[in-house]
Amino acid sequence: MPGKSHAYSDAVLNVLNGDDLPGVTPYVALFSVAPGDDGSAGTELTASGYARQATTFGAPGAGDSANQRKIANTNNLQFGPASADWLQAVAFGIFDALTNGNLLYWNTLTTPKTVQQGDFGQFAPGSLAVEED
C-alpha cells in the first residue's frame, strides 16, 4: 500500500496525547541496546536514579516531508540525577505505562549519551518527535 491520509496519521499519533485512549499516559524510556520492529525487547536502562519519565505531546503537524505528520513533546523530560555512571543510552522508547507496559514507538538517539554520576539526561520541549507517514 503506498501510503495513508494525513487524517489517519493524525489519528494514530493522537493516541500518544490521550485523544484516542483516555487515561493512557506516555512514558519515555532510555535503552542501552535498541529494541527492534521484529519484537526484540532491547535493553532498557536500570541504573540507580533512572526511571521512565511521563511526557505530553502537542497536536499533530507537518513532518519533515510532504507525506509525514509528527507530534513532539511539550514538556522538558529529565532523567536522573545519576547516582553512578549509567550505560550509554543509544535509543529511546515510548511506553503506555511507568513500568512494564507496551512499547508503542522507539527510535535511536541522534547522539548517544552516557549520563555520568550527578548528571542528567534530558529532552528539551519539542526535541522528541514521533512521525507517521
pLDDT of 3 strictly over 70: no
pTM value is 0.86
Tell me the domain boundaries of the chain: 6-117
Span 71-127, pLDDT tens digits:
999 999 999 999 999 999 999 999 889 999 888 889 999 999 999 999 999 999 999
Q: C-alpha angle 6/98/14, rounded to 5°?
A: 15
Sign of the Cα torsion 106, 66, 5, 74 reads positive
Of 16 and 80, more confident: 80
Joined grid coordinates for residue 53: 519519565
